Structure 1
Amino acid sequence: MKKPLLSLFLGIFMCLTSQAQENYFFPGETFNPNVPSPSEFLGYKIGDWHTRYDLIVKYFEKLDELSEMASLKTIGYTHELRPKIILTIASEANMANLEEIRLKQLQLADPSQPKPDVSTMPSIIHQGYGVHGNEPSSAEAAMLTAYWLLASQSDLAKNLRENAVVHFDPTVNPDGRDRHSHWANTNKGFPPVADPMDREHNEVWPGGRTNHYWFDLNRDWLPLAHPESQAKIAWYHTWYPNVTTDFHEMGTNSTYFFEPTKPYGSENPVVPRKNYDDINTRFAKYFSKYLDEIGSLYWTKEVFDNSYPGYGSTYPDIHGGLGLVFEQASSRGHLQSSQRGDISFEFTIRNHVRSSLATMEAALDNKDFMHDYLREFFETAVSEGAKDPAKNYVFGDEFDENRNRMFVQFLMDHQIKVYENTDDLSLGGYDFKKGKSWVVPTSQPQYRMVRTMFEEVTEFADSVFYDASTWTMAHAYGMPYAAGPSVKLGEQVTNNTPTPYEFPEGKAYAYLIDWSDYYAPKMLFDLQKAGVHVEIVNRPFTSQTQNGPREFGAGTLMIPMGFQSLSESNVTDELKTLSVVNHQQVYATSTGFNLEGIDLGSNLVGAVTQPKVIMVVGDGVSSYEAGEIWYLLDSELGMPITKVNSDQMGRVNLFDYNTLILPSGNYNSFSESVVNHLKDWINRGGTVISMKTASLWLNQKEIIKESMVARGESTDPKELPFAERSAFEGAKQVGGSIYMARLDLTHPIAYGYNRETLPVYRNNSIFVQPSKDKYLTPIRYTENPLLGGYISDKNLELLKQSASLIVTPVGRGRVINFFDSPNFRGTWFGTNKLFLNAIFFGDKMD
């Protein structure tokens, strides 16, 4: 009899608990008893625990199972194979006609189609939660809000079900959420500990903010480096929601923030003023009303950045909808003390629930207005594009087919129309070849995204940036491009599949692979992994190949058939297979006697050492930068990389590796014995790839001896108002901008590049003089380097005197010092090869 009594007791307890929670979050409301609340389903009060992502999915599955008004769809998977889901809630009638509703919304967003009657169309609302895994209240709010919308008997909920289609993305970043949830739950005290110093409130490196590869997914709506964002954007363009939310958390001593953001200074230049001056103000009244009702403190019109187009709250603004960012004080656990008293997890959840309800009510009340704005947005995009002096952007790199295809696909993923170029053109100092270049017309519905991809902006309303101050994606891809007049358009690109290369027939003396293509490094590593011996030709030459005479640049790979441990047939089979996998053209030559330049047996030809790479991670190291490097080698190259925590370096024998990567960070935690071991290893031939502040540490330890650019005397005023401190000091930072650099094409760091100039990305104020050795500064800035973004006049002058990259010889080894960001956000494909060259050819750089 004990078990039934216990079960009855627990059932009564959970029923009472659920009712108490409903009164806390939704006072005075009644609910459909056939729909379980989150607490009833999970077996604990919302806010008592951080809910694992799989349980959030299961709760949404239960809603889908129980109601004809709910439908769950999996739109993709994370790196760790967690499903990316969308729960859609609407009336049974609207759910039965969901596809018709979706197509009508797409018709509304297409100016070439007749405008539908918006009065008959439901509001399309997308509720997005939890892009940062350790900002956990929003995912709990997602469950409560979905429950309310589906089960509440209030007039507002009924009206929403009848006149809106609401999509819930409960967790944009499932991998990061589970990492943080596990931390918070396993460190929870009974009773909860509010002391900010408690372990629960201080995650270990890298924390739960980021995804599997330590990327901030709230920066990835534009770059689309990761499957979470790729799935999200593909889904977004099937609906074009009228309103999209983006829920966050900030410091525990803060209050609550909702839009509008800081006028002008934090706004995106391509978004119509109507979005900021009218729509944001309309919606803000609802947020204030809902938060006033529960007495929550809030603020608006300050700080938060809406300029970078890769945010979840900005991307919708560039697509005819309203993107909304919400930020609130975080309990960063279950309970934490603040200047206003203890903040509970439950309290933070309620705030985001209130804003979720306010968003839906505002969207419903402004339904027809927002539909009209969606249509107006794309109509004005076409008309403004037609008036743009740049009628087209022409782009293409004749030497790198894979990077071309990647950029074309990237534009298409953002629904930008791309056309084949049918003629050889000379524009903007570039020659664009027919068949190897493309045209993007400005007069198209995605005109504002076209501007985002190609425009260079150097003038701003503000000089302080929360994030990047520029995002010209054509530069990120290292893509030659030019704005031009109207040109003849070829076929619109709909199939971006490359044409396969033919593998050379017959016996070969050697095989040759041009290093210019983006995936040539992957081809090299795959060959080495397969046991194929590969050499590098360090000077340009012309060889007689199966396709006739062909010029090859320095860095060309050579596979000599007379020096292989594998059989000739095995080498050929590996080359055939891997050339298809990596889409690389393989050339064959029957002789080592070249038509021009050095021969294939020259002393300037040598074996490529297979990389054995170790990277320091952990406390003191930039997780973002380490993640960018890990992602590049892991996902783009397929190269395993050993990641060792900084506090474990004393256990590492560096002689097991030939390359050490030091991301930006502070390495003062290294013991004297670790530093001595590092010095010995470099002196004996090791290669260090050092990023920004890591080079400053190496300089401090006198492992390298480079000099900073002299800053001169300060020109700051002796006295300024205290209130101006943030703006004045912030303007001194280099917060993310693009510069033109000049390459020494004869240096191994530049192998694979065919033009002397290359856009580079910089987000730091470290200015180091060029090397005293005139041969070892292979990347410098041009005379007028600024391409896009903000930099103060003083910093620009310092930049012009500094180096982008320096190679420092140390005994028989070397340190390759990067002062820019060659792998920024997994999308700077134009400079990735600089970093990969440092890995593969580091031992040839000094």
Structure 2
Amino acid sequence: MKKTVFGILLAFFFGQMAHAQEEYYFPGEKFDPSIPSPSKFLGYPIGDWHTRYDLIVKYFEKLDQISELAKLETIGYTHEHRPKVILTIASSQNMGSLELIRQKQIQLADPSQPKPDVSSMPSIIHLGYGVHGNEPSSAEAAMLTAYWILAAQSDLAKNVRENAVIHIDPTLNPDGRDRHSLWANSNKGFPPVADPLDREHNEAWPGGRTNHYWFDLNRDWLPLAQPESQVKVAWYHQWYPNVTTDFHEMGTNSTYFFEPTKPYGSENPVVPRKNYDDINPRFAKYFARNMDAIGSLYWTKEVFDNSYPGYGSTYPDIHGGLGLVFETASSRGHVQNSQRGEITFAFTIRNHVVNSLATMEATLDNRVYMHDYLREFFESAVAEGAKDPAKNYVFGDEFDDSRNRLFVQFLLDHKIKVFENSAYLTLGGQAFKKGKSWIVPTNQPQYRMVRTMFEYEKEFADSVFYDASAWTMAAAYGMPFSPAPAAKSGNQVTEIQNPNFTFPEGKAYAYLIDWSDYYAPKMLFELQKAGIHVESVHRAFSSQTQEGKVDFGPGALMIPMGFQKLKPEEVSAKIKEIAAQTHQQVYAVQTGINLSGIDLGSNLVSAVQEPKVIMLVGTGINSYEAGEIWNLLDQQFGMPITKVNMEQIGRVNLHQYNTLILPSGNYNSLSEGQVNHLKDWISRGGTVISMKNASLWLNQKGITKEEAVKLEEEKEPKSLPFSSRNDFEGAKEVGGSIYLAELDLTHPIAYGYHRKTLPVYRNTDIFIQPSSDKYLTPVKYTANPHLGGYINSTNLEKLKKSSGVVISSVGQGRVVHFFDSPNFRGTWFGTNKLFLNALFHGDNMD
């Protein structure tokens, strides 16, 4: 009897709680009682806890189970094997015709197909939430929005169900969200503590913003370096939504932001003006009205970037839809003090809920207009492409098959049409060979993405950038490329075929592997792991192989069969197996005498040390840069790397390692004893790979002695208006831009490269002079280095006098300083090998 009474009381209390919840988020709305609200399903009011991702998925699974209007789809998995899900909601009639609706939307986005009748086509609305894991209000809003669409009885809700297909992605970054949710929930006080200094509001490094490899996924729609983005963009191209949302959080003392973003200064150069001048203002009226209704403060236009194509709110703009970014003040926990009083988690959630509803209402009111715009966008893209003087872009690296395949696949992933090059071409002083190069015509629906891949932009309406100011992806992949007014293309490429090299039969004196291919370092590491002795030839040479005469550049690998612990047949079998896995061609020679250049027993041939790598991470370290390095070694090359927190460095015996990586960061927490241990380790033969301001710290500690670039005259105004301070100081920053560097092809840092110049990416204003040792500046800038992106005139002059890579000799060891970003966002495949050469050949660099 007591249980029954208790159950009745509990049900009554929970019913009251759920009603209060619904009234707060949806005042005056009535709901279908057969659809459980998120609070009823979870057992707590939304906003009381940070909901774990698995519970969000379970709630969506429940909606799928009980409603014929909801369908849950798993489109992929994160690194930590959390499912990436999309919940689709539509009327029963539209749900029964979902594939037909999708095909019509694809047809609408294809100018080569007849335009379908858009008068009755439903709006395709994609509500995307939570790309940053520690901006958690959006995922809670996703559950409430899904509930409202399915259960609300208002005319607007009925209109949404009948005339739209809604796709909800509750969390673009499940791994980061759970990292933050665990932190916030496990540090929650009872009652919650609003003091900003409380542990709950100050996450431990690296925080929940990023994914497993510490990548900012709101920068990854273009690079596609991470699985979350890869599956999301693949899904996007199956639907071409009319509108896509991107919900975020910002500082606790802020209010709320919605588009338009900063006019001209933050706009993408390939997006039609109609998007910014007409469509954005149309939608903004709805957001303002909804925010006015609940009394929330908001702002528009001042900042926030819409230029970088890799944002979740910009990529749709380049595909005929409208991308919308929203930012709410953050409680960074359950409640936090702000300049306007306490900001609660529930308050931040409600802001995103009302704008989710406003987005749907605005889209439906402009349903036909947005469908017409989708077709107009791609028709105008084809027309503009046909008028482009370039007509085509030809690209290809004759020395690196793997990097070619990576770039072609990348273009295909973005639905860009690629064709084989069927002739030998010389363009812009570069040779493009048949079978080693490809053609991308400008006359195609994805013309604006073609521009994104191949154009350099130098002229800007503004000089302050929220993020990168350059993104020419052909440069990121290190691709030789050129516009081609006329080019004869071959077959269209629809899929990538891996090469099938024939392994040399019979006995061999030695095996040779060219170092030019992107995955040659992967093969080297696998060979070393298998216990095979490998040496590097440090000068160019030519050998007689099973394929005839072959020319090899410096850094080629040599496997001498007379110096192996394994039996010859075991060595050959293992090499064959690894070569097949890494798609590398292996050459056999029967003599150590070469046709030209040094012989295989020369003193300029030496064993390649197997990297034993440690990297410092943790508080004060740039997690993005550390993550780029971790991701590169893990995902591309299968190389384990020991990551040690700064506070644990006292427990580390560096003499167990031969390479230490110092990402950009603050190292002042290291004690004098730890610094002395580092100095001793380097002087005994250790290699430090130091990134940007880590090098400044090494200088400060007297470990290295490199000098900053100084101009003879650097004058600044003595007085400026206070209101101009952000623009004036911001213009001094190097906003992520691309430059042309000059390589010393004889230096080990440049092994595998064949051209003296290479595009590099720089996002730092640290300018260091060339080394006082004339042999140890293997990467410097050309006389006119600026390729794309923003840099002010003073910094450009400094850059011309600067080095990209400097080697500092320290006793028997050395420091390899990188002042560019060779691994930026997991997509600078063209400069990755500079970094890998420092790992494998560091002991030969000075």
> TM-score per shorter chain, which class?
over 0.9
For residue 23 of structure 1, what is the aligned residue in structure 2? 23
Counterpart for residue 299 of structure 2 = 299
- Matches of 1:34 and 1:79, distance apart in 2: 36
Secondary structure at 2:458 match in 1 = coil
Output one character per residue of 1:723-755: Cα deviation in whole Å (capped at 9) or x when no partner. Answer: 111001100110100000000000000000000
Partner of 2:432: 432
The residue that corresponds to 1:536 in the other structure is: 536
Q: String of CA shifts for 1:151-209, please: whole Å, max 9, x gaps.
A: 11111111111100000000000000000000000000000100000000000000000
C-alpha distance in 1 between matches for 2:804 and 2:229: 31
SS in 2 for 1:577: helix
Partner SS, residue 479 of structure 1: coil
1:742 aligns with 2:709: no
| Secondary structure in 2 matching 1:249 | strand
Matches within 5 A, 1:135-154: 135-154=135-154
Measured in 1, the distance between the counterparts of 2:571 and 2:32 equals 68
- For 1:468 and 1:230, locate their aligned partners in 2 and report how far apart those are by CA, in whole Å: 20
Q: What letter corresponds to residue 596 of structure 2 in structure 1?
A: E
* CA shift for structure 1 position 7: 2.9
Counterpart amino acid of 1:838? Answer: A
Are 1:386 and 2:386 counterparts?
yes
- State the Cα distance separating 1:302 from its structure 2 match: 1.0
1:694-709 paired onto structure 2 within 5 Å: 694-709=694-709
Which position in structure 1 is the counterpart of 2:484? Answer: 484
Cα distance in 2 for partners of 1:497, 1:161 equals 44
Question: Counterpart of 2:816 in structure 1: which amino acid?
Answer: I
Distance 1:713 1:272 in 2: 42
Deviation for aligned residue 1:652: 0.5
Aligned match of 2:252: 252
Aligned equivalent of 2:218: 218
Counterpart in the other structure of 2:607: 607
Partner Cα distance (1:212, 1:34) in 2:
38
Q: What secondary structure, in the 3-state scheme, does the structure 2 residue paired with 1:269 have?
A: coil
Structure 2 counterpart SS, 1:24: helix
What amino acid is aligned across from residue 329 of structure 1 in structure 2?
Answer: A
1:77-476 equivalent positions in 2, closer than 5 A: 77-476=77-476
Match of 1:462, as an amino acid?
Answer: D
Give 1:634's aligned residue. 634
Residue of structure 1 equivalent to 2:56: 56
Find the counterpart in structure 2 of residue 38 from structure 1. Answer: 38
Instruction: Read off the aligned partner of 1:636 and give its amino acid letter.
Output: Q
* Cα distance in 1, alignment partners of residues 677 and 4 from structure 2: 67
Matching residue of 1:764: 764
Unaligned stretches of 5+ residues in structure 2: none
Map 1:577-592 → 2, pairs under 5 A: 577-592=577-592
Shift of the alpha carbon at 1:713? 3.8
Per-residue deviation at 1:436?
A: 0.4
Q: In structure 1, what is the Cα distance between the partners aligned to 2:434 and 2:368?
A: 46
Residues of 2 paired with 1:574 and 1:14: CA distance?
65
Question: Could you tell me how far 1:488 is from its partner in structure 2?
Answer: 1.0
CA distance in 2, matches of 1:713, 1:352: 51
The letter of the residue matching 2:234 is: A
TM-score, normalised relative to structure 1: 1.00
C-alpha distance in 1 between matches for 2:671 and 2:636:
34
The equivalent residue for 1:523 is 523
Counterpart in the other structure of 1:507: 507
> AA paired with 1:814?
R
Distance apart, 1:11 and its partner CA: 2.0
* 1:764-808 Cα deviation digits (max 9, x unpaired): 000111000000000010000000000001100000001000000
After TM superposition, give the deviation of residue 499 of structure 1 in Å. 2.7
2:87 is matched by which residue type in structure 1? L
- Does the residue aligned with 1:337 lie in a helix, a strand or coil? strand
The separation in 2 between residues aligned to 1:507 and 1:680, in whole angstroms, is: 46
Shift of 1:6: 2.9
Match of residue 720 from structure 2: 720
Structure 1 residue 609: Cα displacement: 0.8
1:132 and 1:269 map into 2 onto residues whose CA distance is 26
Question: Contact 2:124 / 2:164 at 8 angstroms: preserved in 1?
Answer: yes
Structure 2 residue 731 is matched with structure 1 residue 731: yes
Aligned residue pairs, count: 846
Q: Deviations over 1:543-570 (max 9, x none)?
A: 0000001110100000111100111111
C-alpha distance in 1 between matches for 2:654 and 2:405: 39
What are the Cα deviations for residues 486-541 of structure 1, in whole angstroms up to 9, with x where unaligned?
A: 21111000121123111111111100000000000000001101111100000001
1:496 correspondence with 2:496: yes
Shifted more, 574-583 versus 324-333: the winner is 574-583
Alpha-carbon displacement from aligned partner over 1:244-293 (angstroms, at most 9, x marks no partner): 00000000000000000000000000000000000000000000000000
Q: Which amino acid aligns with 1:832?
A: N
Q: What is aligned with 2:689?
A: 689
State the alpha-carbon separation in 2 of the partners of residues 811 and 638 from structure 1. 32
Q: Provide the C-alpha distance between the structure 2 equivalents of 1:191 and 1:303, rounded to a whole number of angstroms.
A: 36
Hey, what's the Cα distance between the residues in 2 that align with 1:414 and 1:785? 29
One-letter amino acid matched to 2:141: A
Percent identical pairs in the alignment equals 76
The CA distance in 2 between the partners of 1:381 and 1:641, in whole Å, is 45
In the other structure, the counterpart of 1:658 is 658
Asked if the contact 2:17/2:45 (under 8 Å) is kept, the reply is yes
Once the two structures are superposed, residues 587-615 of structure 1 have per-residue CA deviations (whole angstroms, 9 ceiling, x without a partner) of 11111111101111111111111100000
Task: Give the SS at the match of 2:250.
Answer: coil
Aligned to 1:71, what secondary structure does the other structure show? strand
TM-score normalised by L of structure 2: 1.00
1:715 is displaced (CA, Å) by: 1.8
**Cα distance in 1 between the residues matched to 2:711 and 2:767:** 9
Q: Deviations over 1:689-716 (max 9, x none)?
A: 0000000000000000111111444321
State how far apart, in whole Å, the 2-side matches of 1:149 and 1:2 are. Answer: 38
Is the contact made by 2:409 and 2:495 (CA closer than 8 Å) also made in structure 1?
A: no
* Greater mean alpha carbon deviation, residues 488-497 or residues 47-56: 488-497
**CA–CA distance in structure 1, aligned partners of residues 318 and 148 of structure 2:** 30
Matching residue's letter, 2:184:
A
* Residue identity opposite 2:577 in structure 1: T
C-alpha distance in structure 2 between counterparts of 1:681 and 1:110, whole Å: 61
Tell me how far apart the structure 2 counterparts of residues 2 and 657 of structure 1 sit (CA, whole Å): 67
1:674 corresponding residue in structure 2: 674
2:53, 2:9 → 1: CA distance?
A: 28
Note if contact 2:251-2:330 (Cα within 8 Å) is conserved in structure 1.
yes
CA distance in 2, matches of 1:570, 1:495: 35
2: CA distance, partners of 1:35 / 1:814: 66
Structure 1 Cα separation of the partners of residues 328 and 495 of structure 2: 44
Distance 1:639 1:785 in 2: 33
Given that 2:35 and 2:151 are in contact with CA atoms closer than 8 Å, whether structure 1 keeps it comes out as: yes
Task: Please give the per-residue CA displacement for 1:78-97, whole angstroms capped at 9, x wherever unaligned.
Answer: 00000000000000000000
